[in-house]
Amino acid sequence: MIVVLLAPAIATISLLSVGSVSTVIKFTNSSFENWPMFRHDLRHAGYTTFPGPTDNYVNWTYTTGGGVKSSPAVADEKVYIGSTDDKVYCLNADNGEEIWTYQTDDDVFSSPAVADDKAYIGSWDWKVYCLNADNGDEIWTYATGGGIYSSPAVADGKVYVGSDDDKVYCLNADNGDEIWTYPTGGYVNSSPAVADEKVYIGSWDWKVYCLNADNGDEIWTYPTGGYVNSSPAVADGKVYIGSEDWKVYCLNADNGDEIWAYAAGGGVESSPAVADEKVYIGSEDDKVYCLNADNGDEIWTYQTDDDVESSPAVADEKVYIGSWNRKVYCFGPKGVQVSISPSYQSGSPGSTLTYTVTVANTGKIEDNFSLENIDNLDWELELDNAWLIIPPGENRATNLRVAIPHDAASCTKDNVTVIAKLLHEPKVENRASCTAHALEVGIPIPAIINIDPDTLNLKSKGNWITCYIELPEGYSVENIDVSTVRLIVANGNVPAELSLTQIGDHDNDGIPDLMVKFSRSAVQAIVSVGEVELTVIGRVDGIPFEGRDNIRSIKPKRDLHKYGAKSPRGKDRFFDHFLHPWRRLIIYLKRFRARG
């Protein structure tokens, strides 16, 4: 079974699958743009601005009596096509119902051209046919000297076609009379392109020809290195064509000078499509090629499983083509964008930094993307996902982990780049970078710390200890990670309360500070009486900072004089209170005896 792409007519008929006995045609909507001849137009652009199919849903099929190598023409909501059952078919484009058939005397490989309510087509029975496009009635036939594989082009009342009798023919479109013929040196299976009153065509004599469209005079020829079965496309003063010498050629349309030649890996029987300054073509090396139309540089290639002799069609920024592997392919415009967040992180040696890598598919169809990473210091890098499947217009994220070595030198920075590529077209890529910074061990950023209150009563019942943090120039307190802020003393540490923060300038020095709070009871539990140095640490932009402040911690003595505490004179106030009358009596008696 041969699978051939049919130039969509488009959004009406999008593609044709050719097997031994059946034609499969898909519809995507009810609006039409004509695709009236092989390769769409007289220049063989193989391109339409009409929207292409958005899925592979099959609306209808029509079964012929033989294989279908012919490509359809679509005009006035009718589909015209040939078959190896010797017939030409006209089908209803909406539902695939047969409108008429016409019987020739041999296989119909040629593709029809429709113009002025007439359908023109060649047959392997050596004849060119002109049929009524509405009912299939024969208007005229013209007998050449060989089978006709070539597809006719109709322009200015003339029909141009090649034949296996080695000739190019120009016939009157109304009555089939011969206007002129031009003999080449080999079969003419190539289909003519017509532009600027010139006819361009290839031959099995290995040459490309440019002929005067009015009289058939030779204007120029160009010799290739193999037979030319490919049909030319003409765009912007250039002629594009393939050859069995494994090359794609771009020639000057006026004089035939070679502008560039691109070497494929196999014969090029496929006929090029030209759109948006790109040339699309298949090769017998099993690949589909996209080349720069100006200089022939390769933009991308796609590897199929078999020869690609099918000729591509381009619509709505999509490329449709078939392969001998029985598949029809649709390629959308290729695009990928990658970003990394955050772009900078730092950590201590031995730590691991995590970044988010976001890959966006900026193309028109779903694609597979591979991810790889490189860096300048050969640190350990790990991506959670090395490849992603992303629908068009959407993005997917994955994590990148950068492990900072334990022996990383102070302040070392590793520049890490993530490259996103189309899995099958690695030349379509995008990249983004981030920085991993190894901190200088033991030297945190010096911070100014002010703790309130200056004197801490260990017996007080308040809720919070307040701390104001100022950072040196170049660092912003807005970027302090409060979850890393801790108050440290010799006996332990206390974390900052995450919800109780405020940025201000409490000391009115013009430098912003961050206010954080610590649990008073937690601090009191680890602070000793006397002069105490409190250390506050944390991280800003991933970099540690540290600052210190001194406070006085007190523990006032309770007033227990009336409960047994010693008086300032050293006497026991308990006895003073309860035994004072008796003591006075004893003193009186002693004095009385002394007098006695």
Amino acid at 207: K
Domain end residue (candidates: 376, 407, 438) = 438
- On whether residue 397 sits in a domain, the answer given is yes
On whether residue 296 sits in a domain, the answer given is yes
- Any domain includes 460: yes
Q: Residue 570: pLDDT above 50?
A: no
Across the range 207-220, mean pLDDT stands at 97
Q: Provide the number of structural domains found in the chain.
A: 4
The whole-angstrom separation of Cα 504 and Cα 54 is 57
CB atoms inside a 10 Å sphere around CB 520: 20
User: pLDDT tier at 566 (50, 70, 90 boundaries)?
Assistant: very low
In a shared domain, residues 30 and 96: yes
**291 shares a domain with 380:** no
Q: Where does the pLDDT of residue 32 fall: very low under 50, low under 70, confident under 90, or very high at 90 and above?
A: low
**Residue 585 DSSP SS3:** helix
pLDDT, average across residues 572-584: 52
For residue 247, is it within any domain?
Answer: no
More confident residue, 138 or 21: 138
Distance CA 331, CA 302 (A): 9
Closest CA to 230 of 248, 216, 212, 213: 248
**pLDDT for the residue 148:** 96
| 52 and 155 both lie in a single domain | yes
Residues 6+ apart with CB under 8 A from 439: 346, 347, 348, 349, 410, 411, 543, 544
- Examine the fold and report which residue of 392, 419, 438 is the final residue of a domain before the chain moves on: 438
401 and 531 share one domain: no
Same structural domain for residues 347 and 300? no
Please give the DSSP secondary-structure letter assigned to residue 16: E
The reply to whether 520 and 548 lie within a common domain is: yes
Q: Which percentage of the chain shows pLDDT scores above 90?
A: 55
Q: What single-letter DSSP state applies at residue 216?
A: -
- Residue 197 in this model has a pLDDT that exceeds 80: yes
As a whole number of angstroms, the distance between CA 194 and CA 411 comes to: 68
Q: Is the pLDDT of residue 19 over 60?
A: no
Confidence of residue 17 (pLDDT cuts 50, 70, 90): very low
Lowest mean pLDDT among 440-444, 496-500, 563-567: 563-567
Diameter of the chain by CA atoms?
177
Q: Are residues 327 and 365 in the same domain?
A: no
Say whether both 565 and 490 belong to one domain: no
**pLDDT > 70: percent of the chain:** 83
**Model pLDDT, residue 51:** 63
pLDDT, one tens digit per residue, over 314-343 is: 877 778 888 888 787 878 777 899 999 998
The answer to whether residue 590 scores a pLDDT higher than 90 is no
Q: In terms of domains, do 381 and 473 share one?
A: no
Residues 73 and 147 in one domain: yes
| Number of other CB atoms surrounding residue 563 within 10 Å | 10
Give residue-wise pLDDT tens across range 114-164: 999 999 999 999 999 999 999 999 999 999 999 999 999 999 999 999 999
Residue 365 — pLDDT band, cuts 50, 70, 90?
Answer: confident
Q: Residue 312 has what pLDDT?
A: 86
Determine, yes or no, domain membership for 325.
yes
Q: Report the distance separating Cα 266 and Cα 419, nearest Å.
A: 31
Could you read off the pLDDT of 231-244 as tens digits, one per residue?
Answer: 999 999 999 999 99
Q: Which of 438, 456, 489 is the last residue of a domain?
A: 438
DSSP structure class, residue 299: E
- Domain at 32, CATH number: 2.40.128.630
Q: Look at residue 197 and tell me if it is in a domain.
A: no
In the structure, what pLDDT confidence band is assigned to residue 588 with cuts at 50, 70 and 90? low
Burial class (CB in 10 A: 0-12, 13-18, 19+), 218: exposed
CATH code for the domain of 401? 2.60.40.10
On whether both 183 and 88 belong to a single domain, the answer is yes
Q: Is the pLDDT of residue 213 over 80?
A: yes
Sign of the Cα pseudo-torsion (241, 53, 13, 66, in order):
positive
**243 falls within a domain:** no
Asked if residue 564 has pLDDT above 50, the reply is no
Report field, pTM of the whole predicted structure over 0.85: no
Residues of the domain holding 537: 445-554
Whose structure tokens read 């009524």?
132
Whether 24 and 137 map to the same domain: the answer is: yes
Q: Is residue 208 part of a domain?
A: no
Task: Show Cβ contacts of residue 55 under 8 Å, excluding neighbours closer than 6 positions.
Answer: 28
Res. 195: pLDDT tops 80: yes
